[in-house]
Amino acid sequence: MKEQLFITGIGTEIGKTICAAVLTQYLKADYWKPVQSGELHATDSMRIYDLLQGDVVIHSERYKLKLAASPHKSAALEAVSIALADFEVPTTDNHLVIEGAGGLFVPINDNHFMIDLIQSFAVPVALVVKDYLGCINHTLLSINAIKQRNLHLKYVLFNGGIDPDSKRVIVQHIPADTRVIHIPHLSAVTAQAIRNLAHDLTL
């Protein structure tokens, strides 16, 4: 059975794209970023393509917005209106990794958030966690939001090292059927490093 995953995080700039690259490599999946907000000269789709050395099908973004901000703000500055109905999961016979923008409650318009997009897609969630002061709070809030929406939290990915005391609390609140994945800190994010990490995964 082909797998579809929506990768989100407990915040922004926590390594979602690195984790997306590893899972895309591992699954030999297609990749899709529904909304790219900012960095149009070096998008996440471009980065995935480079890290997988072109051996990946990249589906085009539905929206590519110029300002590096939440999509609702970037869209408003360009007089663009984003609606949930605008998005349709790409048709593919392959696995598909979908990468969101920021965390669950990043707004795509004044009324809807990334979590609403996930719910409309009805796909399992992979939550990326990074160690920082406040990560326990942000992780547990994210997990609770996923539970409240009756979404399937398939994976929790600890990106980089995690404080043992933080990890102990977080793991106690992860659903029993959720797989925990550890992505070690990379001193250099290269195509070879991504291949090595994917090779070492056992899902």
Give the percent of the chain with pLDDT over 90: 95
Instruction: Write out the two tokens for 175.
Output: 């659903």
d(CA 124, CA 88): 16
Q: 21-51: per-residue pLDDT in tens? A: 999 999 999 999 999 999 999 999 999 999 9
- Between strands 125-129 and 153-159, the pairing is parallel
Residue 1 predicted with pLDDT over 90:
no
Provide the token pair at 58: 């990249």
pLDDT in tens, 55-64: 999 999 999 9
Q: Is 33 a catalytic residue?
A: yes
Cβ-Cβ contacts under 8 Å for 140 (sequence gap 6 or more): 169, 170, 173
Residue 8 has pLDDT above 80, yes or no: yes
Q: What is the pLDDT of residue 21?
A: 98
Average pLDDT, the chain: 96
- The residues with which 129 forms a beta bridge, in sequence order, are 158
Query: Residue range 86-115: average pLDDT?
Result: 97
Q: Is the separation of the CB atoms in 98 and 121 below 8 Å? A: yes
Share of the chain above pLDDT 70, in %: 100
List the chain domain ranges. Answer: 4-200
Query: Per residue in 120-168, pLDDT tens?
Result: 999 999 999 999 999 999 999 999 999 999 999 999 999 998 999 999 9
The catalytically annotated residue of 33, 130, 154, 167 is: 33
Amino acid of residue 90:
P
Look at residue 203 and tell me whether its pLDDT is greater than 80.
Answer: no
pLDDT at 202: 78
Helix H or strand E encompassing 127: strand 125-129
Please tell me the pTM assigned to this model: 0.95
Classify domain 4-200 at the CATH superfamily level.
Answer: P-loop containing nucleotide triphosphate hydrolases (3.40.50.300)
Show the tokens assigned to 55: 């051996």
Pairing of strands 96-103, 4-9: parallel
